[in-house]
Amino acid sequence: MAKTIDNLRTQTPPTEINNGLVPLGKHRVSPIEREWWEKYRLNVGTSSFNVTYACSVDSNVVDTDKLISAWNTVLARHRILRCRYVKTGQRGSLRRGYDRFPPQIKTVLLKEVTTLYSGNLLSPVEHTYMDTTQWSTTPTPAESKWWEEYLHGASKIYTLPNLLERTTYAGRTRLTKLPRISPMKSSSSLKNKKVTLHQLALGAVALSLQHDQNDVDVILGGPYLNRGAKDLDTVGLFLEPLPIRVRHPMTAQSTASYLRAVQASSQEAIAHAIPWTKSSARLQQKHISQIILF
C-alpha cells in the first residue's frame, strides 16, 4: 500500500507554488470592501463616489432586446454582482442599481456586452474576485524601509482654516468653471512635459495647501488601480488609496522643476505600491478617516 501511494505521488503533477499567497475566498471581504461597509454602517453621511455611464440608444440602429439580453447575461455570470435584498420595516421599495462600478469594472462589463451583442461567445470566467491574492502580499523589508523613509517627516501644516478631524462622510462638491482656452493650453504643455493630468492636480492641490510656507512638503491621497496581471479583467473592487508625497523647495521658482518633482514622486509611489492596509501603518494612523487629506 505504501509503495502504491508513493508511486501515485510521483505521478501527480506538481501544484502551482503561490509563495504563501492566500486567495480572498468566498467568505472574506477585502480591506477596501470592509472600508465601504464601515462607512455605510456608520450611516452618518452619503458617499458621492459613483461612476455613472449614460447613453442614448437609437432603437432604429440598436436591437434593444438583444442589448438587454446581453446585459442580463453579463451581470448574471459574475458572482460578485449577485445580491440578496432583505426588506425590513416600512421604508418603501428597495432601490437596486449598478451605479458604483469603478472605471475598470465598467470597461470590463461593456467589453463583454459588446462581445455578446456582436454574436460572439464569452470564455468562461476563470479568475474571479474571490481568487485574487492581491491583499495577501507581504511587503519585503526593502519595500517597508522605502515607505518609512518616503513618508517620514512630512509637514502637517496646511493653509486651511479650522481643519478638524473628520466625523462624517457627508460633504460638498465644488465646481469651478475655467475659460475654454485654459484646458487646451494645459493639455498642450503637459503633453510636451510628459506630465499627466493627475500629476498636475497633485501639484496644484499641494501648492494650495501650503502656498504660504517656505517649502512644499505634503502627503496627498491618490487612486491606485491595485490589480495584478490576473486581475485586469476581473470584476471586483480593487481600487485603493495611495499616499503620494509632494516635496519641493519654494526657492526653486521654475514650474518645470516643480512638475518634475511631482511626477517623480508619483511614479516612485506607484512603483513601490503595497496594499493600503500596509502603507497606512507607515502613516501611523489607525483609520483612513483620521487622514484628513484622503
Report helix, strand or coil for 5: helix
pLDDT number for residue 52: 65
pTM of the predicted model, to two decimals? 0.73
Q: What angle do CA 246, 50, 202 make, to 5 degrees?
A: 10
| pLDDT by 10s per residue, the chain, length 294 | 555 555 544 444 443 445 678 899 988 889 888 887 877 777 665 555 555 667 888 999 999 999 999 999 999 999 888 766 566 666 555 444 444 456 678 888 999 999 999 999 999 999 999 999 988 888 889 998 999 899 888 877 777 666 667 677 666 777 788 787 777 677 777 777 888 989 999 999 998 888 888 889 999 988 888 998 899 989 988 988 899 999 998 776 788 899 999 999 999 999 999 888 777 665 555 455 555 555
Partners of 247 in beta bridges: 217
pLDDT of residue 262: 95
Domain 136-160+167-290 annotated CATH 3.90.1260.10: no
pLDDT at 92: 54
Q: What does the domain layout of the chain look like in residue ranges?
A: 23-83+93-131, 136-160+167-290
User: Grid cell 504643455 — which residue?
Assistant: 189
Beta strand pairing call for 240-249 and 215-224: antiparallel
What is the rounded distance in angstroms from the CA atom of residue 135 to the CA atom of residue 30?
7
Per-residue exposure over 93-125, b if at least 16 CB sit within 10 Å of its own CB, e if not: eeeeeeeebbebbeebbeebbeebbeeeeeeee
Give the pLDDT score at 120: 95
Residue 17 confidence (pLDDT): 43
